[in-house]
Structure 1
Amino acid sequence: MRILHCLLTREFAGTERHVAELANQQALTHDVTVLLERHTADPRTGGDIARHFLPSVRIVRANRAGYLPTLFRVVRSETFDIVHTHLGKASIRAGVLKVLGLMGKTPVIGTLHNAYRARTYGKHDGLICIARWQQDSLPEGCQYQSILIANWTVPSALCPLEQAMLREAFRRQHALPPGAFVICAVGRMVEEKRFDCLLQAWRQAVLPTDTYLVLIGDGPERVRLENVCADYRERIIFAGYRSDVPDVFCAFDGFVLPSRREPFGLVLLEAMAAGLPVCATAAGGVLDILENVSDCLVKPDCIDALAAGLVRLRQQPGRTWDLSFHVLEEQALKTEQFYRRFC
């Protein structure tokens, strides 16, 4: 098949990881092109999706005229079996061409990385939901053309010795004492991720003095968060953006996800793949991942519940999770089978 993925962002977060991994997997047996923004590096962190594609994936960048004219030029000059869009900006532009009849007979499929919006996805031929809450919220007329294909995780490629070396190097870099129990949280520092709630819960929780909290990520909320905990920052470390997630999870002993809403919760899946015990807010796609592990879930936006969750997390050993439902090869095959419904 000839597949065109469309994404219009300038960062490297969960959606970008999803697109890169899916495109790389599909390129093993298909002809895959990805249309990106002209500049894709995050000006704040330097994260760039373009660095994560295999050579077999062809990258096309929007020209000076903009993303929509470039998309039109690509679909007019080449023949694709499927156009697969991701997130709102690219999906709206593909929808515009669809409405104008400029996509020809090429089916347009969209993956919902957030909530469904008719303006964004109403003209798509098919929709891939990554969590049940998305599929349940679709308008009645859209449900028949949708499918639930959960996200996946790609296990770290580091061998045990390399993991041990990375763990030691990270802990030494951040002056973590030997034997410390280190809990991490990872994500963009924006309001909905509720790092502020986590810091308040950390202050409230009664934890052993050898327990540390490491926050990995960057974003517009970072300065405010650092100021919030300025008077009680002991044992809290802002490690900044890192490009080696999920490998760096080997440096930690537990993982917490305090978000108000997670469309899926890819970083939670990555932490579980690393064998970490977890504590996560019961919202969005997290409920799919931890539906049978209620003791790991806490109420969103509740400092008391999150503080109690941190105490429970501190008492948990490493854990082996069943992630057999979240295998890239199988989810890519389901995606291909869904494409063929429209070809």
Structure 2
Amino acid sequence: MGPLRALQAGRSHVGSGLGALWIGGWKVSGRLRVAYLLTQDSGGPVDVTVRLARALAESGEAEVRVFGPVPRRGAEALGGHHEVVEVGDKADVRAGRRARAVVREWRPDVVHAQDRRAGLVGAGLRFRHKVVQTYHGVPDDVGEQWFRGVRGAEGPSAYTRTVLAADAVVARAVHRTVVPAQAMGRFLSGRLKVPAARLAHIDNCVEPAHVQPPVGVVRRLVFVGLLVRRKGLATLLTALALPGVMPVDATLTVVGDGPERAKAEELARALGGRVEFLGFRADVPDLLRHHDALVLPSALEQQPLVVAEAMAAGKPVVATDTGGVADMLGPGAALAAPGDVDGLAARLRALFEEPHPDRIGAELAERARDRFAPDVCARRHLDLYRRMLGGEGDGVGGVGG
């Protein structure tokens, strides 16, 4: 039965309050309905989802609802666009079924899963809805060399290989997998053999910030992240303790918590009280504004939000050359190899001696506005959703490069 005959037969209905026209079960006009699915209450995927959902809702081009736990940061920004759904364990089949039932009842056009467990849940909706997932990162014991496909590099544990195999299955099951960094797209297509046509590169988004480049030379460093081995805090503290690296009037603030904290506090004693540990904080953007520069010495990253947040605030960044960090910071970035204490020390020494860090900060802020603003992110996601619903390719640049 064609659309006209279906309409004449009375098989159409108008979505409540949306002006949406449905014919034979298919939406042919009206705003998109986008369901974001989360199973976490904190972390990068949650922060990105909150910002993206709000930007899409404010655009007036989509009706948005976030299904998941109450976010620990930014929940108020969702307003009436949030419905509590709990899936506490990936093995909890009943919770997954309940989550899918709640999402289906809302009748979205697109379901976008924003963390690994949500991807497993969302894959079960693929027969009734267009399903997208964002692949934010690999397990902690994946090394940079193996991630990049270096021949002979040591691989991860058997358990992690099982997790990655499951990730590959999910990526083949859903209609698209969004990767914030091109490097992750190459990993998924090269290492996990996910068809490139099912991948789309879209940058993460961060809140616009008051641009506040450092005044004078850099003296107040800040590190933000989980205190786990992979984040490289021990490498940073060791580099700062080398002779001639950290000026006597310089300080480091450590924002975050985790199992490596005791070891980090022990290493920090060599710096004579110039390191402050704040633990977990929800006001990271505000903390960034009150420091001169960010240091991120991670062993492996994809497209770290804190780097984009520091850029948006006009802060210079010293980081390791991992994942998409070099692409984020652009030409002339102050990068060291992961785990290279001497290389990181050299970049830090240069940062402390830089006479015009404000110029670097201003350039990074402009770069952040162009790439990581929520409205830019929302437009690119809308383009992806519409092309998917229209049966076309993703239209957002693929994963080459």
CA distance in 2, matches of 1:306, 1:218: 22
1:89 aligns with 2:135: no
Distance in 1 of aligned mates of 2:339 and 2:87: 42
Tell me which residue corresponds to 2:396. Answer: none
Q: TM-score of the superposition, structure 1-length normalised?
A: 0.83
SS of aligned partner of 2:388: coil
2:55 paired residue among 25, 29, 42: 25
One-letter amino acid of the counterpart of residue 339, structure 1: Y
Q: 1:78 to 1:13 in 2, by over 3 A?
A: closer
Q: After superposition, where does 1:240-251 map in structure 2 within 5 Å?
A: 240-251=279-290
One-letter amino acid of the counterpart of residue 7, structure 1: L
Q: Aligned equivalents of 2:314 and 2:264: distance in 1? A: 28
Matched-pair contact (CA < 8 Å) for 1:87–1:111: yes
How far apart, in 1, do the equivalents of 2:67 and 2:97 lie? Answer: 12
Q: Which residue does 1:305 correspond to in 2?
A: 343
Q: Which amino acid aligns with 1:53?
A: A
Query: What's the offset of the Cα at 1:151?
Result: 1.6
**Paired-residue identity, %:** 28
Whether the aligned pair in 2 keeps the contact of 1:92 and 1:119 (CA below 8 Å) is no
Larger radius of gyration: 2
Measure, in 2, the Cα distance between the counterparts of 1:185 and 1:63: 31
Distance in 2 (CA, whole Å) between partners of 1:59 and 1:310 is: 45
Kindly report which structure 2 residues correspond to 1:34-73, keeping only aligned pairs within 5 A, or say none. 34-37=66-69, 48-49=72-73, 51-62=75-86, 67-73=95-101
Structure 1 counterpart SS, 2:372? coil
Cα distance between partner residues in 2 of 1:276 and 1:25: 24
Distance 2:194 2:96 in 1: 27
Show the counterpart of 1:228. Answer: 267
2:177 corresponding residue in structure 1: 127
User: Structure 1, residues 274-314: CA drift from partner, whole Å, max 9, x if none?
Assistant: 111211101002021123124x1111111111111111111
Give, in whole Å, the separation in 2 of the partners of 1:14 and 1:58.
18
Name the CA distance, whole Å, in 1 between partners of 2:353 and 2:87: 53
For 1:152, the aligned partner's letter is C
Determine the structure 2 residue equivalent to 1:156.
209
- Find 1:143's aligned residue among 182, 196, 207: 196
Matched position secondary structure for 1:239: strand
Letter in 1 for 2:66: V
Shift of 1:231: 4.6
Could you tell me which residue of structure 1 aligns to residue 376 of structure 2?
330
Whole-angstrom distance in 2 between the partners of 1:299 and 1:74: 46
Contact in 2 for aligned 1:180/1:210 (Cα 8 Å): no
Question: 2:398 is matched with which residue?
Answer: none
For structure 2, the residue ranges without an aligned partner over 5 or more in a row are: 1-31, 139-163, 390-401
CA distance in 1, matches of 2:316, 2:294: 6
Q: Structure 1 counterpart of 2:171, which letter? A: Y
CA distance in 2, matches of 1:67, 1:52: 25
Q: CA deviation at 1:212?
A: 0.9
| In structure 1, C-alpha distance between the alignment counterparts of 2:103 and 2:40, rounded to whole Å | 20
**TM-superposition CA deviations, 1:200-251 (whole Å, max 9, x none):** 1111151221111111111222122112333544211112222111122121
TM-score by length of 2: 0.72
Deviation readout 1:117-175 (Å, 9 max, x if unpaired)? 313322110111100101222336521132211123322369x8xx99xx9xxxxxxxx
5+ residue gaps, structure 1, are 42-47, 168-178
Please give the residue correspondences for 1:199-218 in structure 2 after superposition, counting only pairs within 5 Å.
Answer: 199-206=237-244, 207-218=246-257
Could you say which residue in structure 2 is the equivalent of 1:279? 318
The answer to whether the Cα contact below 8 Å between 1:33 and 1:60 also exists between their aligned partners in 2 is no
Over 3 Å counting, the alpha-carbon distance change for 1:13 and 1:128 in structure 2 is: same
**82-91 or 134-143, which moves further after superposition?**
134-143
Write the distance in 2 (CA, Å) between the matches of 1:338 and 1:69.
27
State the secondary structure of the residue aligned to 1:59: strand
Q: Give 1:94 shift.
A: 1.8
Equivalence for 2:6:
none
4+ long deviations beyond 6 Å: none
Structure 1 residues 120, 53: closer, same or farther in 2, change over 3 A?
Answer: farther
* Separation (CA, whole Å) in 1 of partners of 2:87 and 2:234: 40
Q: Who is 1:173 aligned against?
A: none
Inter-partner Cα distance in structure 2 for 1:156 and 1:246: 8
Q: Distance in 1 between matches of 2:338 and 2:379?
A: 34
Aligned to 1:194: 232
How many pairs align? 313
Structure-2 change in CA distance of 1:299 and 1:68 (3 Å): same
